[in-house]
Structure 1
């Protein structure tokens, strides 16, 4: 006796499996996107510190501001290191190199 199609139990099992897969994958991808965005801003802060170091070396400028992707990076050189201040998720962050 041959059957055509899926039974109700097989269909429900497939739906339950897809439901649990989506419950785990959606939050995982959301967290990954947030981490990538944070790393992107931190990379831009390092770039602003590099630009600040170059401006200090070439022009003697000890502070300045750099805007990258609608984020304001304020840098200053204190004689030992270049520090960059910026807002990340409404929190003030600092990167010193």
Structure 2
């Protein structure tokens, strides 16, 4: 005779597998989202440095402020480097190129 339905052991095994998968995937996606956010801000800082280099070359400006995605990037040219200061996750950061 054939069995109908699923047994308690099969149900518990399925629950354990789902729990294992969710407990590994959720932290992984959270960390990936954080890394993407950091890389996005760093890319915007590089863009602000590029805009600062253009403004220095065209207009002779040595400093300025650029707003990208609601973040203020302050850049300064010191004669050899362009440094961009910005706030990310409540911390002041600086990128010099």
Q: Same fold (TM over 0.5)?
A: yes
State the distance in 1 between where 2:66 and 2:52 align. Answer: 9
State the distance in 1 between where 2:96 and 2:9 align. Answer: 60
How high is the TM-score relative to the length of structure 1? 0.98
Deviation per CA, 1:40-73, whole angstroms, max 9, x where unpaired? Answer: 0000000000000000000000000000001000
RMSD: 0.5
State the distance in 2 between where 1:48 and 1:4 align. Answer: 66
Q: CA deviation at 1:4?
A: 1.5
Q: CA deviation at 1:22?
A: 0.2
State the distance in 1 between where 2:66 and 2:53 align. Answer: 12
- Structure 2 unmatched ranges of 5 or more: none
Q: CA deviation at 1:5?
A: 1.5
SS at 1:57 equivalent = helix
Residue 78 of structure 2: aligned partner: 78
SS at 1:14 equivalent = helix
How high is the TM-score relative to the length of structure 2? 0.98
